[in-house]
Amino acid sequence: MEQLNKSETIALRREYIGQSCQLFFRKDPIKIVRAQGQYMYDERGNAYLDCINNVCHVGHCHPDVVKAACDQIATLNTNNRFLHDNIVLCAERILSTMPAELSVCYFVNSGSEANDLAIRLAQIHTGNKDIITLEHAYHGHLTSLIDISHYKFNLPGGVGQKDYVHLASCPDTYRGKFQTTDYKSEDLGHLYADEIKEICDQVQEEGKGICAYIAESMLSCGGQIIPPPNYFREVYQHVRKAGGVCIADEVQVGFGRVGKFWWGFQLQGEDVIPDIVTMGKPMGNGHPVAAVITTKAISESFRKTGVEYFNTYGGNPVSCAVANAVFDTIIKDKLRENALVVGEYLLDNCHVLARKHSIIGDVRGVGLFVGIELVLDKELKIPATEIASYVISRMKDEHILLSTDGPDCNVIKLKPPMVFTKDNVDTFITLFDRILKEAREHQDLTSTIIKSVNKDTILTDLSNKDARTFKKSTEQKIKSI
């Protein structure tokens, strides 16, 4: 199956592929030649347990999805200006999972295209320009989305914050501006939502209105964050009062990953309904297909402009056949139920490990969306970035694929294909336990250094940003030992 040996692939990649396109495990990349279910196989036939691939949602190369794609591509593929059953049946399936208000679909090819169209719809419908986005958010690679993705525009070489973009705190109740240690958990949603109100007030005082508030229903790049109860309910009220629409980015977290529901926003209550929902990644199980779902009113505003929307590949018969097969497989293979049961088992086991390893500062998650935050010191919550990177690399040696997220890259993230089993959880936990023991050696050194610093001063004076600087200098000290 291999056309080149691994070193030739690396050499050609280095020569021909843009160097900004980075690989997982950069120092020692893996060459994957095939995959099935929750396993990926390298060129030597080694199997890797895939804990991070949220795209291959129903399992890599699921036979029903493969068959649907092959059958359709052998029959017809063309743009959606011809009548075809697949596109309308796909829309019908998706809308059957949505609140009744969300009743119109647009088909596109990627999460980025979906979010770009969502912003365009919001601009047309509201006539406003100002957008509220969250700290550490990522919404896609198009220029319009880099501008509203703090994760990208804030980088040293990034484009910086545009004047129409307003940044609100990530509703991270472990490490964010308002934390469970300082506030009652039922108040946290309100406290974070109040910040959105302040932004809305400020924009209105300047004589403008809000165009949109965009957020993932659970924040992936932010570090596997589950927003506190009531957060979206209150945010949506403030945004609408200021003339804006609310966009739920479900590109990573949608299609039943949370188990109990089809969509992440549904975790916040039946009455919490976005104006626009975007979806992608899991929708095609690896095939490029994505969508924007919105209300009749927003879609009417778009129609009234008289400008036609045409997208060459969006909603083509093959993409829709694939999306339909993914949807049917989620139901047939009971994958939401599996996410619920296996996700709970995973979380329970992670909590057991957290009691054993002081380096685990926090465990959080819903369904098969889980984050394990590593810290050098539980009280100071200093991110254990280097140790997280060590753990990921050691787990890879043991053929478990993981990665980190969060602004400090210290959150071990798990969002495996939805066919993940309890046996897979056991394998992960056993190895993670062993490798955390190895990591403890590093941590002991760190604790000695931390104890030599005046803890009270740090606790009272440090903002999270300062804590990050402190963490970097601490880790440099560790390296120098």
Q: Is 405 in the site for ligand PMP (CB under 6 A)?
A: no
Q: Is 406 in the site for ligand PMP (CB under 6 A)?
A: no
Mind giving me the DSSP string for 196-243?
HHHHHHHHHHTT--EEEEEEESSBTTTTSB-PPTTHHHHHHHHHHHTT
Kindly provide the residue ranges of all beta strands, DSSP E only, lying in 297-440, ordered along the sequence. 360-366, 369-374, 400-401, 403-405, 411-414
Residue 244 CB, nearest approach to ligand PMP (Å): 19
Binding pattern for the stretch 94-123 against ligand PMP, x by CB under 6 A and - elsewhere: ----------------xxx--x--------
Residue 219 CB, nearest approach to ligand PMP (Å): 8
Q: 338: which residues sit within 8 A by CB, 6+ positions away?
A: 418, 419, 420, 421
Residue closer to ligand PMP (CB basis): 115 or 301: 115
- Span of 26-34, 73-81, 155-163, 244-252 interacting with ligand PMP by CB under 6 A: 244-252
Q: Is 280 in the site for ligand PMP (CB under 6 A)?
A: yes
Residue 253 CB, nearest approach to ligand PMP (Å): 8
Q: Which residue is nearest to ligand PMP (CB)?
A: 111
Task: Single out the residue of 107, 138, 192, 232 in contact with ligand PMP (rule: CB under 6 A).
Answer: 138
Residue 210 CB, nearest approach to ligand PMP (Å): 20
At residue 463, what are phi and psi to the nearest 5 degrees?
A: -85, 170
Q: Is 252 in the site for ligand PMP (CB under 6 A)?
A: yes
Total residues interacting with ligand PMP, rule: CB under 6 A = 15
Q: How far is CA 26 from the centre of its chain?
A: 21
Residue 249 CB, nearest approach to ligand PMP (Å): 5
Mind giving me the DSSP string for 406-473?
TTTT-EEEE---TT--HHHHHHHHHHHHHHHHHHHHHHHHHHHHHHTS-HHHHHHH--HHHHHHHHHH
Q: Is 140 in the site for ligand PMP (CB under 6 A)?
A: yes
At residue 168, what are phi and psi to the nearest 5 degrees?
A: -115, 160
Question: How far is residue 352 from each of residues 256, 345, 346, 363, 421, measured CA to CA in Å?
Answer: 26, 11, 10, 10, 18
DSSP 22: P
Q: How far apart are CA 214 and CA 191, in angstroms?
A: 18
Binding pattern for the stretch 434-463 against ligand PMP, x by CB under 6 A and - elsewhere: ------------------------------
Q: Is 319 in the site for ligand PMP (CB under 6 A)?
A: no
Name the residues that contact ligand PMP, by CB under 6 A.
110-112, 115, 138-141, 216, 220, 249, 251-252, 280-281
